[in-house]
Structure formats: C-alpha cells, structure tokens
C-alpha cells in the first residue's frame, strides 16, 4: 500500500475547492439551524439555484462574471423568499418539509427535457468558467504542485470561506445575532419583547441561502460543468453531516466539519482501495469500497453523536440543557 | 422606568398610596373606570363551539394592580393572548391607551408598551441570564441587520442596556447568576428572570400570567414586593393568579372570570365576599382562606414573621422601602 499517496490525497482534500464549497454551504446551514433554529433540508437546492443561476446567465445571456455572480445570489434570495413567505409563520417542521420538496423541484426543473436549450437537461451545462479564469492573476507555473488554474480557484474559494466566516461571526456577536438565538430558543418569548420574529427569520433564511448559492458556484467552477445529479438530496445530508461534525452554533465548526468529512472519505477510500489491490481484502471490489466508505462515515457520525454530541467546536454546556 | 417615576412625582400623585376610587360608578361587572388603560368590548373567542372568552365590556384601571382570577378553564390566559395579539378573537374590539389593537401583531403590541409573561415560563435556555435580559432592551440599533456589522453603531446603546439589566438583576437577586445559562435556573428563578426581562422593555402595562406558579415560598415575598414596586414606578399591572392570599395582599382591583365571562369586579375585600364569586371560583367547597378574616390574619402573622416583609411595621403598604424611600423623602420635602 502506498501510504504517502493516500496521505497526500487526503491532505489535498483538506484544501480542495469542493471542501471550500461544502464549508460555505454548511456555514449557511449553521446560520439557518445552528443560530436561528430553521430546519433547512434543501440546502442542495440553494446550491443548485446558485450554480444554475450563474451558468445560465453566463451562457444564455452572456453577462460578465460579476453580474452572473450577482444574479446567482439574487436568485437564491428570491428562492428563500418564495420558501419563507408561506412557511416561516408556521412551526419549524413545516419549513423542513417545504425545503426538501423545493430542492427536489429545482432539480427536476433543470432536468426536464423541455428546457434543454437553457438548462442542458440531465447533461447539464459546461464552458461557463472562462470569465472566471480570465481574471487569474497567477501566471502559468507550479504552485505547491498545482497549476495556476487549480491554485486560483483554491485561493478564491478559501478566501470566500474566510470572508464569510468573519461576516457571520460579526453578525452573530451583534444584537441582531442575539435576537436570532433568542428565536431559536423560543420565538413567542422574543415576540413578546417586541421583535419582529418573521422578519428576522426571513433575513436569516436569505443569508444562509446566499451562502448556499456562493457554495454552489465554488462547487461548480473547478468542474467546469453543472449537472442536476450533483445537487440531489444526499448533498444536503452530507452538508448536515459536516455541520454536526463541527458543531452547530459555531462559525468554525462547519468549516472544520467539511474538512473532516472529506479527509475521512479520502482516507477510507485510499486505505480500502489499497487493501483490495494488495490482496489483503478479497471479499470487496473497489466499487463496493466506494460505497462502504459512506457507511463508515455514517458510523463515525453515530459515534460522534453518542460521545461528542455537541460536535468538535460545540459547547458541551449548551447541550447539558438540551 | 425612571421616566415613569418622574411622571408620577411631577403630577404629585404617589401611586402607592393613591386612594381615589378606581371605578367611575358602581363596582359592577364591566363597569367604567376613572382612568382606564385597556378597554375591551365584545371580545369573544371560541374553540370548536366552546366560548373560551366572551367578554362584553372590560376596562383595566391605569396605575393599579389588577388581578384576574377565575377557575381553571375560565379563559384568563386566552384573554391574555387576545389582548396581546398572540391569538385573534372571533369578534370584538379592544384598545390600549386609546389605540385600537385589532389586527395588530404581537410584537407591535409589545412595542406600544404592553408586555406579557407566560404561564409556562419562557426563558432562552441556551443564552445566559444577561443575554436574556439584553434581549428585552428596546431601541437597540444593532438589532437591525444593516447596522449589526458595525459595533461602533450599537456598542453605546449596548452599554446602557447592560447597565439597565444589571440594576434589574440586582433587584431580582439574579445578579450572581448573570453569566449562567438560563436553563440552569430553578423554576422560581426563571419566573423572576422572565419578569425582569419583560421590564427591560420599559412597559406601561405589565401582564403577568401566574407569576407565583411554582415559585418557592421563600421567594414569594420578594416577588410580591417587586410587583408592588412596579406600581410605584408608574406601571400598570394585570396578573392572573390562583393564590388568593397573593391577590388579597397586592391587588387593588379584582376581575373574576368564569366560563369566559366577567362575573364580578371590585376591590379584593369586596369581591371575595361576593357569593357569585365564591360560587364560580370554589363551587361548594368554600375554603376559609379566601375572604375569611381568619385566613388573612394567618397570612399576616406569617408575613410579620418574615424579616423581608414590611407587614406589621410602619412601612406597611410600601414594600421594598430601600428602593423608593428616597423618592418618598423627596416628595415630603417638596410639600
């Protein structure tokens, strides 16, 4: 078994743009659930809206990169409004049902063959990333073993993660964040103190959803393609896994959670493949190994919930009263 | 609150010892008050054919402590919910300080100065006691998303709110618990916290839903003192309570509900002798404690033995002397 390549690919996952995208989307979930108590089971839908919003505006309407970015974020805000207006007055579980359904609706809409010219149907869209890479300030060459394109997307992706973390941290220490946390605990009590609970929940839904849209773009740019199958329900649950791993009502938790998630996936994949190739494991094919690692992630999550339910960064004291 | 207190001294009326009549006419159910703060007319709410609340006419007197009593299921809490916008009546109109509240959402009602607490205490368990208090603070610009990012815009107000919270926490003897999670408080302490938090809004009318339920008897006296002091600070209090001793002890006015209707109103002593009330509230099992002179004597004997109580001393009727003694002295000087 080649331990050094297993380890280096795991470390590569640590800073991959996909991990950055997961971190951003999980941070959005932290705003939704960790701070505001909004059960959003449709974060994949927000990511899809962001990715498709950007891809369609670039390809169909030929807008410049930053206009496409703006359209993606605005589209996700509109998506949040549409979801929030009927459900935010109701109990939290209604939002959960509506978001999970809405995310699927988005996925089916972009898959439908009727709009192939615009959405590319099941094949998705490609070749929309030129505007982004044309801004690459790094000349060709090797940067820490990466080419200038890979390096640029990592710098942008993780730069975005840092900026968003700082913004969310600033928001959550403010009185605005305090009202959100109060709503998470008991919205009627907050209402009785003269706060417009509905408006706060809507703002939180939009902010978390916009983070999802940015994540969708970071996810899709290095691939150079956006496909509906990437935004299935399982993506939402991977994001929840990242959030729970790191700690719900924390800023760094989702980021570290996303890193852990991908490192563990990469390590288990590497070790299992290595074992199979070396002949130590004969009852498993490499394809089965790819499935098995998700089972292992599930087991790891169960163990975490039992022995460290607050996540890596969570505050144990908060859980004492759950 | 200091603002309210100043008001009261300006007009030269001490609300603690104000003995002018509360009702404008006779003490009949639904009677007019000399100075009402809340007026409700034909407010009704039914749940599946059962009339939970069916109030023909009710006025709540300003600067007084009004008790709302009645047997279980009489509609007291439902009336609370209706008045504060947490529930919508099937019909009727009601107003607060002359402003109609029909269709006004609950948070706007709170901003107008009508703040309530809940029968099942609501504290934000995973926020500290101090954060709970700060949440009650009004006109904090940092609660707007547009200003939340910049501490310079809200830091000053935050300091004021914190100072206000510290004063209240000290009064309610929660200052030692300030940095603990609210979930770690006992049931009685939570009641105190909820009440203190509602005062952070600087309300004109405080509506307390069973402030004594589940409170340790040792805390009862200080809670009674706090409620009486609200009046000294110019606030109006409306509370629901089952503990007749408490009603008797602090209420200026008692409203009795039964089966959703107002069945009697009047000063506590008078109401508790009312056969309709005894019948509605206690049925056949008339408890001697209610309006009975002996029951009251027992309570007073208990309170006299309590060091914190001022019953039986020359300050009787003016509770928490240390808080308002200065104001009383000032008034005397002015006279």
Q: Could you tell me if residue B234 is inside a domain?
A: yes
Q: In this prediction, what percent of chain A has a pLDDT beyond 70?
A: 98
B114: tokens are 């009508």
Give chain A's mean pLDDT: 91
Do the beta carbons of residue A258 and residue A22 sit within 8 Å? yes
pLDDT for B301: 63
- The pair phi, psi for residue B264, each rounded to 5°, is -160, 155
Is B80 at the interface with chain A, CB within 8 A? Answer: no
CB atoms A175 and B197 under 8 Å: no
B155 and B108 assigned to the same domain = no
pLDDT band, residue B300 (cuts 50/70/90)? low
- Mean pLDDT is lowest, of A223-227, B48-52, B326-330, for B326-330
User: Is B207 domain-assigned?
Assistant: yes
Residues B152 and B107 in one domain: no
CA–CA gap between residue A34 and residue A180 (Å, rounded): 10
Confidence of residue A190 (pLDDT cuts 50, 70, 90): very high
pLDDT value, residue B293: 58
Predicted confidence band at B8 (pLDDT cuts at 50, 70, 90)?
very low
Residue A182 has pLDDT above 90, yes or no: yes
pLDDT category at B9 given cuts 50, 70, 90 is: very low
CATH topology of domain A3-319: ABC transporter involved in vitamin B12 uptake, BtuC (1.10.3470)
B251-272 burial, b for 16+ CB within 10 Å, e for fewer? bbbbbbbbbbbbbbbbebeebb
Residue B289 has pLDDT above 60, yes or no: no
**pLDDT, tens digit (0-9, with 9 covering 90-100), for A259-304:** 999 998 898 888 888 888 888 888 888 888 888 888 888 888 888 8
Instruction: State mean pLDDT over A226-250.
Output: 91
Does some domain include residue B292? Answer: no
ipTM for the predicted complex comes to 0.87
Structure confidence at residue B285 (pLDDT) = 39
The pLDDT assigned to B50 comes to: 83
Q: pLDDT by residue (tens digit) across B167-196?
A: 999 988 899 999 999 999 888 888 889 999
Asked whether residue B148 is domain-assigned, the answer is yes
Q: Do B143 and B224 lie in a common domain?
A: no
Query: B242 — phi, psi (to 5°)?
Result: -100, -15
In this structure, of A195-199, B73-77, B199-203, the range with the lowest mean pLDDT score is B73-77
Phi and psi at residue A61, to the nearest 5°: -110, -5
Domain that holds residue B170: 124-184
Q: Tell me the HSE value of A121 on the side-chain side, using a 13 A CA sphere.
A: 6
pLDDT of amino acid A112: 92
Collect all residues with Cβ–Cβ distance below 8 Å to A155 and sequence separation of at least 6. Answer: none
Nearest CA in chain B to A204: B145
Residues B50, B112: one domain? yes
- Mean pLDDT of all residues in B49-59: 88
Q: In percent, how much of chain B has pLDDT > 70?
A: 80
Contact A47, A229 (CB under 8 A): no
Choose the mutation target among A193, A195, A250 for the interface with B, i.e. most B CBs under 10 Å: A193
Look at B99 and A92; give whichever has higher pLDDT: B99
Q: Check CB contact under 8 Å for B148 and A196.
A: no
pLDDT, position B19: 75
Which pLDDT score, from 0 to 100, does residue B12 have?
63
Same domain, B117 and B128: no
The answer to whether residue B242 scores a pLDDT higher than 60 is yes
- Domain boundary, last residue among B259, B285, B311: B285
Mean pLDDT over A310-315 rounds to 79
Q: Which residue has the higher pLDDT, A126 or B286?
A: A126
CATH code for the domain in which residue B70 is found: 3.40.50.300
A322/A245: higher pLDDT: A245
Q: Please check whether residues B28 and B88 belong to one and the same domain.
A: yes
How many Cβ atoms are within 10 Å of B206's Cβ, its own excluded?
24
Whether B28 and B84 map to the same domain: the answer is yes
CA distance linking residue A245 with residue A253, whole number of Å: 7
How many structural domains does chain B have? 2
B24 and B144 both lie in a single domain? no
* Mean pLDDT, all residues of chain B: 82
- Which residues in chain B (91-150) have CB-CB distances under 8 A to chain A? 105-108, 110-111, 115-118, 122-127, 131-132, 134-138, 140, 142-145, 148-149
Q: Is residue B315 part of a domain?
A: no
Q: What's the pLDDT score for residue B28?
A: 79
B31 & B89 share domain? yes
Residues B221 and B244 both lie in one domain: yes
pLDDT at position A214: 97
Chain B residues whose beta carbon lies within 8 Å of the beta carbon of residue A189: 118, 122-124, 194
**pLDDT single digits (tens) B244-276:** 778 888 899 999 888 888 888 888 888 888 777
Instruction: For residues A216-241, give the mean pLDDT.
Output: 93
Same domain? For B114 and B164 the reply is no
Q: Is residue B168 part of a domain?
A: yes
Specify if B322 maps to a domain: no
User: B127 and A194: CB-CB below 8 Å?
Assistant: no
Residue A221 to residue B313: CA distance in whole angstroms: 80
């Amino acid at each position: 078994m080649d331990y050094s390549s297993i380890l280096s690919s795991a470390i590569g996952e640590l800073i991959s743009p996909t991990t950055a995208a997961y971190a951003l989307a999980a941070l959005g979930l932290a705003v939704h659930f960790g701070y505001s108590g909004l059960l959003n089971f449709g974060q994949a839908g927000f990511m899809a809206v962001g990715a498709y919003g950007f891809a369609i505006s670039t390809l169909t309407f030929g807008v410049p990169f930053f206009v496409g970015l703006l359209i993606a974020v605005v589209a996700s805000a509109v998506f949040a409004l549409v979801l929030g207006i009927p459900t935010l007055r109701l109990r939290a579980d209604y939002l959960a049902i509506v978001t999970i359904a809405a995310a699927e609706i988005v996925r089916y809409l972009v898959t439908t063959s009727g709009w192939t010219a615009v959405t590319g149907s099941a094949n998705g869209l490609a070749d929309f990333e030129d505007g982004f890479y044309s801004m690459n300030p790094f000349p060709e060459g090797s940067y820490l073993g990466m080419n200038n394109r890979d390096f640029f997307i990592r710098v942008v992706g993780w730069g975005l993660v840092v900026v968003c973390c700082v913004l969310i941290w600033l928001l959550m220490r403010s009185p605005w964040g305090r009202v959100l946390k109060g709503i998470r605990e008991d919205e009627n009590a907050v209402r009785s103190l003269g706060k417009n609970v509905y408006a706060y929940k809507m703002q939180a839904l939009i902010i978390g959803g916009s983070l999802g849209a940015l994540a969708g773009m970071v996810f899709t740019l290095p691939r150079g393609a956006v496909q509906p199958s990437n935004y299935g329900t399982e993506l939402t649950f991977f994001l929840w896994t990242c959030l729970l791993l790191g700690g719900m009502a924390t800023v760094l938790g989702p980021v570290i959670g996303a890193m852990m998630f991908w490192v563990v996936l990469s390590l288990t994949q590497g070790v299992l493949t290595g074992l199979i190739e070396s002949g130590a494991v004969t009852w498993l094919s490499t394809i089965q190994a790819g499935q098995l690692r998700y089972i292992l992630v599930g087991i790891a999550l169960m163990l975490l919930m039992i022995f460290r339910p607050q996540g890596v960064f969570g505050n144990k004291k908060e859980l004492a009263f759950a | 609150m200091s603002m309210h207190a100043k008001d009261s001294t300006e007009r030269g009326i001490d609300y603690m010892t104000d003995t002018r009549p509360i009702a404008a006419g006779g003490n009949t159910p639904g009677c007019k008050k000399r100075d009402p703060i809340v007026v409700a007319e034909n407010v009704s709410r039914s749940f599946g054919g059962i009339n939970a609340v069916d109030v023909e006419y009710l006025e709540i007197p300003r600067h007084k402590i009004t008790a709302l009593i009645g047997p279980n299921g009489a509609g007291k809490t439902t009336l609370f919910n209706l008045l504060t916008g947490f529930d919508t009546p099937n019909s009727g109109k009601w107003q607060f300080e002359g402003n109609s509240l029909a269709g006004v959402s609950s948070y706007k009602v709170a901003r107008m100065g009508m703040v309530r607490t809940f029968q099942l205490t609501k504290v934000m368990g995973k926020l500290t006691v101090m954060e709970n208090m700060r949440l009650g603070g009004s006109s904090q610009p940092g609660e707007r998303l547009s200003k939340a990012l910049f501490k310079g815009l809200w830091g000053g107000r935050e300091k004021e709110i914190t100072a206000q919270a510290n004063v209240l926490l000290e009064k309610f003897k929660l200052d030692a618990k300030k940095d603990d999670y609210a979930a770690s408080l006992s049931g009685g302490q939570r009641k105190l916290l909820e009440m203190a938090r509602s005062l952070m809004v600087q309300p004109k009318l405080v509506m307390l839903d069973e402030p004594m339920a589940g409170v340790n008897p040792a805390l009862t006296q200080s809670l009674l003192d706090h409620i009486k002091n609200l009046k000294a600070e110019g606030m109006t209090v409306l509370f629901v309570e089952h503990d007749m001793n408490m009603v008797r002890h602090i209420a200026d006015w008692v409203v009795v509900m039964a089966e959703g209707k107002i069945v009697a109103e009047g000063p506590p002593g008078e109401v508790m002798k009312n056969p309709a009330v005894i019948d509605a509230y206690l049925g056949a099992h008339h408890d001697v404690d209610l309006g009975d002179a002996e029951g009251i004597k027992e309570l007073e004997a208990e309170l006299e033995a309590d060091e914190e109580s001022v019953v039986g001393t020359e300050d009787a009727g003016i509770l928490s002397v240390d808080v308002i003694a200065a104001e009383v002295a000032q008034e005397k000087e002015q006279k």
